[in-house]
Amino acid sequence: MANGTDGNRKISATRFAVIDTELTGLDGKRDAIISVGAVRMTGGRIEISESFYRLVNPEKELKAPGVVIHEITSEDLLQKPGIDEVMAEFQGFFGADVIVGYCVEIDMEFLNREMKRIFGASIQNPVIDIYPLYEWARSRSFYEERTTSMPGRAKLYDIARYYDIAVNGAHNSLVDAFITAQIFQRLIPGLTAAGITDVGELIRLSNRLKGGDRQGISSGISNF
């Protein structure tokens, strides 16, 4: 397992890289990454000083619907580095960390496409999706004392608002990674209370609960 870690490593002692991307669209073959953001966590602690944010020149015109969402224009990207340079830097940032994201399959599809093209291999790090963890939390009785019920089929910003996490402005990959990290931070105490204290258990829970129709949740929200 990555990070010099086996499945018995405690969540509290594990480094996580919480990631997000902004894209020209959601077509895994035709669209491209235009920004990458990430923030480090050690257990439930967010390392504010350890973050990554790069804009990427996709060498193609941006689509109007995407510009409305992330407010990044083609002109903003003209002098930015290409994806090869950014991926080399990003790989250096996340290293052997466990990767965390919201509906992260989309991010990983685009990142792995570039990793395979540039380096000949996909990212081998364990990956955790916080959306199934949130769905798990909705079903747990120890959350019932809250006066506001946890929203179902929730978008990233809906979950953030439920946890009183500030949400402002357009989507930005670093801001959204930070929001995702704060949601993960809120979920960890409940997971620990339920006896899920090891990284291996956390990964298995995330993988086991994946599935279902999340297209309407992720599309156009956190990754585009």
> pLDDT tens, 152-169?
767 999 999 999 999 986
Is CATH 3.30.420.10 the classification given to domain 11-218?
A: yes
What pTM was estimated for this model as a whole? 0.87
Please compute, for residue 37, the number of CA atoms within 13 A of its CA located in the half-sphere on the CB side: 21
Per the structure block, which two tokens stand in for 52? 């990554």
pLDDT tens per residue, range 35-88: 999 999 999 999 999 999 999 999 887 876 667 577 788 888 889 999 999 999
Rounded to 5°, the CA angle 37-102-63 comes to 65
d(CA 224, CA 222): 6
pLDDT digits (tens, 9 = 90+) for 94-124: 999 999 999 999 999 999 999 999 999 999 9
Location of structure tokens 């990290």 = 181
